[in-house]
Amino acid sequence: MKINSNNLQKYEKLLHKLPLGIILINMQNKIVSSNQTAERYFNAKATHLIGKDIHEFLENPSTEEVKQLHQQVDKKELLKGTNRKLVTSYSPFLNHHNTLQGVLMLLEPLEKFNQRVSNITESDFYFEIVQELLQTQKNAFRIVMENKDELLSSKQWKAEFDQYNTHIQDWVNQLVYQTIRSRRKRTDSYQPDASLDTIDVFTKPLQKNGKLIGCVQYVTKHENNALKQELDTAKKMIRNLEKTYHLEDIIGETPEINIAREQARLYADMDTPVLIRGEQGTGKLMLARAIHMTSHRKYLPFLKVNSSDLIESNLEELFLKISKKIKNGTVYVNFNQKLTLDYQNKLLAFINEQSTIRFIYGISHTPVISEWSPALYDLLQKYQIILPPLKERLSDLPLLVEAFKIYFNQEYDKQMITVENDVIDYWQKLNWSGNITELKLEVERIILEASSFTSSISLEQLHNKKFIDVSDDENQLSLQQAIDLFEKKYIVKALEQQNFNKTKTAKMLGVSVRNLYYKMEKYKIERGAI
Ligand SMILES: Nc1ncnc2c1ncn2[C@@H]1O[C@H](COP(=O)(O)OP(=O)(O)OP(=O)(O)O)[C@@H](O)[C@H]1O
């Protein structure tokens, strides 16, 4: 419907009740009308808005642009004096002769907008992908959302569940409530009768960057090998679901991160090559994944390729595999190792051949022109997003620690251990020399090493390591957990030393490349999943 003064009057009553704020601005930028929702968002009565210049409320409204171009403009802006973030949409306002009268502005607070969008996109996303997974799964499992509504369940789950009496059904539902409340995994067994099989129920919270989105529940009667394999496959798929990132998952409120997020949003559907520049561990892969998830390719595959993989593999085979597997998806090429001009040209030829794949590139240093093939250099220069090192955005450090703390408490089944402010201050004052990878590993370490009696970690405890209880506490790290932790750290360190070159790392560690891949999978060491 075209917006003009006729139909605006006709629907006046309705407009007042709409959940979106509406403001009408005349050709001189003065507010001439507003609905009650807009008044609420602007924190003002209509009488305070009418006749005022829109610039009194917003720094840079897009009224001139709309008047000149007669086009709609959508943006995010700040309400002056309140720091309230708004999502705004400006449209030309016409009379019934189609003559421009002014600008119609729709507005909504950013939090509300995000919530609405995530409600739509997240459930669509989960629904489509999980539905797909459920078709292929013979296992009994279901996904329950945070509000305890069942989102989806496999056929097998329905068959099993229907057989249970209400007592067992209640017990299964209780496990969901407990998992959601405690944000911790729960495994429980039930044997209805000595002559019957034991029912094992495994319930795990689903979280993305510390935000609880629901839980997944599996049921097995007896775990033979085939079933276990299926269960592992299902768990792997769920892990992949949790690994998908949206732009909103990128933590940070500094202007540099806001700009990077906005650029990513803009480039997401442009299909252009994008170069993400940032030191190691600044979030390049995460941003590349988020661009993919924001684009129309979000249901298609995403693949990360390191430039070192190109050197280590049979190039023709690798390219063939990529073009077959990815088809219309996104490939993120991370230049973690310098490529000779010969390799650069081969890569460029491959990129040019792929008309349907979207390429995103990552690099941790400023490209020096003399080291690049001119055509590849030009390609990389076109659209760039810069991620600053963490020491240049230290005000984001507390937000990151908070999210990682929640994530690892859940991952290691801890009782919500907190990290006290003095630890965060200390890290900020240190000018944190590492990046987000190192911060995440440090938070993981202190949470994992904390004994079961620790409820928070202070600076004193951090320095004296008093949070590590070396007494005979039966709840502290088991020998296996301690060995695993050591092994994981050792492998990460070796990989970093070898710039994530797996052949060299395997050689250095004295294990086969296959064994190294196995360990990386076991400890989730693939970059971006650390
Ligand atoms: N803004 C962020 N919010 C939350 N987590 C983040 C953010 N940025 C990075 N991370 C986390 O930090 C880790 C490192 O991020 P990522 O792998 O994307 O960095 P990178 O720059 O690609 O690293 P490298 O150059 O070493 O490959 C990941 O676990 C990622 O999830």
The CATH number assigned to the domain holding 306 equals 3.40.50.300
Residue whose C-alpha is closest to residue 378's, from 411, 407, 352? 352
Q: In this structure, are 507 and 458 located in the same domain?
A: yes
Q: In this structure, are 239 and 251 located in the same domain?
A: no
Query: Nearest 5°: CA angle at 400, between 399 and 404?
Result: 120
Q: Does the residue 528 lie in any domain? A: no
Give the DSSP letter string of 249-267: GS---SHHHHHHHHHHHHH
Helices 341-353 and 374-381, packing angle to 10 deg: 60
d(CA 247, CA 252): 11
Q: Does the residue 131 lie in any domain? A: no
Q: In this structure, are 414 and 507 located in the same domain?
A: yes
Nearest residue by C-alpha to atom 13 in ligand 1: 437
Q: Does the residue 125 lie in any domain? A: no
Q: Which strand (E) or helix (H) includes residue 382? A: none
Site of tokens 């209640």: 170
Q: Does the residue 57 lie in any domain? A: yes
Q: For residues 295 and 188, which has the higher predicted lDDT (pLDDT)?
A: 295
CB under 8 A, 24+ apart: contacts of 152-159: 152/126, 152/127, 157/219
User: What pLDDT score was predicted for residue 168?
Assistant: 85
User: What pLDDT score was predicted for residue 472?
Assistant: 40
For a ligand 1 pocket test, name from 393, 437, 501, 530 the mutation site with the most ligand atoms within 8 angstroms of its C-beta.
Answer: 437
Nearest residue by C-alpha to atom 26 in ligand 1: 280
For 206-264, what is each residue's pLDDT tens digit?
876 667 788 888 887 654 455 555 556 566 666 566 566 788 889 999 999 999 999 99
Q: In this structure, are 360 and 478 located in the same domain?
A: no
Q: In this structure, are 313 and 400 located in the same domain?
A: no
* Three-state secondary-structure class, residue 314: coil
Answer for the pair 171, 143: CB distance below 8 angstroms, yes or no. Answer: no
Q: Which strand (E) or helix (H) includes residue 462? A: helix 459-464
Residue whose C-alpha is closest to residue 153's, from 166, 165, 169? 169
How are beta strands 140-145 and 150-153 bridged, if at all? antiparallel
Q: For residues 302 and 191, which has the higher predicted lDDT (pLDDT)?
A: 302
Q: Which ligand 1 atom is the nearest neighbour of the CA of 528? A: 17
For 66-82, what is each residue's pLDDT tens digit?
888 888 888 888 898 88
Q: If pLDDT is split at 50, 70 and 90, which confidence band does 7 have?
A: low
Q: In this structure, are 182 and 229 located in the same domain?
A: yes
Q: Which ligand 1 atom is the nearest neighbour of the CA of 278? A: 21
The average pLDDT across 133-147 equals 72
**CATH number of the domain within which 204 lies:** 3.30.450.20
* Three-state secondary-structure class, residue 379: helix
Q: In this structure, are 172 and 39 located in the same domain?
A: no
User: What pLDDT score was predicted for residue 124?
Assistant: 53
* Three-state secondary-structure class, residue 23: strand
Lowest mean pLDDT of 323-327, 421-425, 461-465, name the range: 461-465
For 465-506, what is each residue's pLDDT tens digit?
655 444 444 345 667 777 778 888 888 888 888 888 888 888
Q: Does the residue 119 lie in any domain? A: no
**Strand partners of residue 307:** none
Percent of the chain with pLDDT over 90: 30
Burial class (CB within 10 angstroms; exposed 0-12, middle 13-18, buried 19+) of 51: exposed
320: Cα separation from own chain's centroid: 29
pTM over 0.80? The answer is no
User: What pLDDT score was predicted for residue 224?
Assistant: 47
Answer for the pair 376, 363: CB distance below 8 angstroms, yes or no. Answer: no
Q: In this structure, are 384 and 413 located in the same domain?
A: no
Residue whose C-alpha is closest to residue 520's, from 488, 496, 483? 488
End residue of a domain, out of 225, 243, 261? 243
10 Å Cβ neighbour count for 338?
15
Q: In this structure, are 48 and 87 located in the same domain?
A: yes
Q: For residues 118 and 390, which has the higher predicted lDDT (pLDDT)?
A: 390
Nearest residue by C-alpha to atom 10 in ligand 1: 283
End residue of a domain, out of 175, 208, 243? 243
The average pLDDT across 389-403 equals 93
User: What pLDDT score was predicted for residue 528?
Assistant: 39
Q: Measure 445 CA to ligand 1 centroid, in angstroms.
A: 17
Answer for the pair 5, 101: CB distance below 8 angstroms, yes or no. Answer: yes
Nearest residue by C-alpha to atom 16 in ligand 1: 283
Answer for the pair 282, 387: CB distance below 8 angstroms, yes or no. Answer: yes
- Reply yes or no on whether the pLDDT at 273 is more than 80: yes
Residue whose C-alpha is closest to residue 478's, from 408, 413, 410, 524? 413
- Reply yes or no on whether the pLDDT at 280 is more than 90: yes
Q: Residues with beta carbon inside 6 Å of ligand 1?
A: 209, 250-252, 278, 280-286, 334, 362, 364, 400, 436-437, 440, 527-528, 530
Q: In this structure, are 9 and 96 located in the same domain?
A: yes
**CATH number of the domain within which 509 lies:** 1.10.8.60
Residue whose C-alpha is closest to residue 439's, from 395, 411, 393, 401? 401
How high does pLDDT run on average in the chain?
A: 82
Q: How many domains does the chain have?
A: 4
Going from the C-alpha of 116 to that of each of 113, 147, 403, the distances in angstroms are 5, 16, 22
Q: In this structure, are 384 and 415 located in the same domain?
A: no
Q: In this structure, are 144 and 261 located in the same domain?
A: no
Burial class (CB within 10 angstroms; exposed 0-12, middle 13-18, buried 19+) of 295: buried
Q: Does the residue 102 lie in any domain? A: yes
Highest mean pLDDT among 87-101, 285-299, 423-437: 285-299
DSSP state of 391: G
Q: If pLDDT is split at 50, 70 and 90, which confidence band does 5 have?
A: low
For 351-395, what is each residue's pLDDT tens digit?
999 989 999 999 998 888 889 999 999 999 889 999 999 999 999
Q: What ipTM does this complex have? A: 0.98
Half-sphere exposure (CA, 13 Å, Cβ side) for 164?
21
The average pLDDT across 117-136 equals 56
Q: Measure 192 CA to ligand 1 centroid, in angstroms.
A: 47
Q: Measure 252 CA to ligand 1 centroid, in angstroms.
A: 12
In which domain, by residue range, is 362 found? 247-388
End residue of a domain, out of 342, 361, 388? 388
Q: Does the residue 471 lie in any domain? A: yes
- Reply yes or no on whether the pLDDT at 400 is more than 60: yes
Q: Does the residue 377 lie in any domain? A: yes
Q: Measure 285 CA to ligand 1 centroid, in angstroms.
A: 6
